[in-house]
Chains A and B, each alone.
Chain A
Amino acid sequence: MPLQARRGGPRPLSEERSVSLLACRIYISTDCDRLAAFLDRVLPRPAQRYPISRRHHFAVRREGEGYRIEEDGVARAVEPTLESAGYALTARMHALALAALPEFTKVHAGCASWKGRRLLAVGPPHAGKTTLMIRLLSEGFTVYGDELTLVKNGEALPYPRRFGVRPPTVALIPSLAGVGGGGDAVLVTDPAQLGSKWVIEPGPVASVFYLEPNHDGHTRLEPCPKYLMVQRVMSQSTAPQAGRQQWIRDICDMLDRASTFTVKLGNLDEAVSALKDVLRRTPAVAVDPATETV
């Protein structure tokens, strides 16, 4: 770009990106190619079968030593660094996407399916959700998400977010070799990058597993009474806007149709074998051939 143009006014917003986050379609324009590269690294790109009902536009401009962020034409923030601008922008995008679906219960859960049976792996941070989900990818499972699943009317809708894999997990999963990362950095990846289909769509749940970490030990799986599983899932979820009654109804509806287990998650080979064994014995609630890995 000619020097005169740079001095004469704002730089053009030459880089454009867009992303669908369930009900939200978000457009980002920026004059910073490094911010665009940051977004390319962190924005999820699954195929999505969910209707768009809201659209938002962000503009990010370099300004002096910082980055000015506008949301739908209104100045929102000035961030001092590229990284802080990128994180602030993506955090806001996810907040808008979740706010667009206030009627859903949000559950800390990974979501996958195997032979037409969808599972939720519910658990607190560091329980092993991401580790298990990435391992399931290499075992013929269709994996939708590793961290957050929305629940309504007994169905689960995985939230599209790229997986953040911590270094100790990278070392546990052979399929992550060569994907990147390394050192102390969190590896950001997703099912599509790891060679699988990545499709986001709602579906009924056949089995719910509550993960309790048993690092370096064996994996043990035990049936969990549903009335206790409701308590456990509620402890790892947030209520819909409609309030606690709807929250309970949604979780009860989902769990009443599913088989429910507690998993002391240790050895991953044992975990895969145990989950397959459960799902093999669980009736398929619904099969969507478009999302199955054969």
Chain B
Amino acid sequence: MDWDACPQVSEGLEINKVADGYIVYQPERDRVHYLNHTAVLLLELCDGKTRAGDLAGLLKVAYELPAPPTDEVSECLSKLVAEGLVR
């Protein structure tokens, strides 16, 4: 994980919002992704301006956590990148 990189949501995704998550359709791969609330927030934070290393701190604030969830962010971000939802 390059913590200095600024991940960005991939172009062309169709994002459908439901009350507790996102259903993301990826036309170029014809795939559907089901994202829970945490993954949604992380996806939203991947704006191409925010450093990957700052994401865990932002989630800590958002969910009022005692510590930054660095491992969880690393795992989730890796999945989003692997699936092509974030670049």
Contact = CB atoms under 8 A, between A and B. Distances in A.
Q: Do A and B come from one complex?
A: yes
A225 B35 CA distance: 11
Given A228-B34, A230-B34, A245 B18 contact: no
A251 B32 CA distance: 13
Interface string B16-35: 11111111010100101011
Interface of B: 14, 16-23, 25, 27, 30, 32, 34-36
Contacts of A244: 25, 30, 32
Contacts of B35: 227
Interface string A17-41: 0000000000000000000000000
B32 to A, nearest CB: 6
B19 A256 contact: yes
Given A249-B16, A252-B18, A227 B36 contact: yes
Interface of A: 225-228, 230-231, 234, 244-245, 248-249, 251-252, 255-256
Contacts, number: 44
B31 to A, nearest CB: 9
Contact of A227 (B20, B25, B27): B20
Given A231-B34, A244-B30, A244-B32, A252 B14 contact: no
B16 A248 contact: yes
Majority DSSP secondary structure for residues of A touching B: helix
Nearest to B26: A244
Contacts of A252: 16-18, 23
B86 to A, nearest CB: 18
Contacts of B36: 225, 227
Nearest to B39: A227
Contact of A226 (B14, B18, B25, B30): B18
A100 B25 CA distance: 27
Most A CB contacts (10 A, CB to CB) among B18, B22, B30, B36 go to B18
A248 B32 CA distance: 8
A260 to B, nearest CB: 9
21 contacts: A226-B19, A226-B21, A227-B20, A227-B22, A227-B23, A227-B36, A230-B18, A230-B23, A231-B34, A234-B32, A244-B25, A245-B14, A245-B25, A248-B14, A248-B16, A248-B25, A248-B32, A252-B18, A255-B18, A256-B17, A256-B19
Nearest to B22: A227
Contacts of A251: 23
A255 B17 CA distance: 10
A31 to B, nearest CB: 50
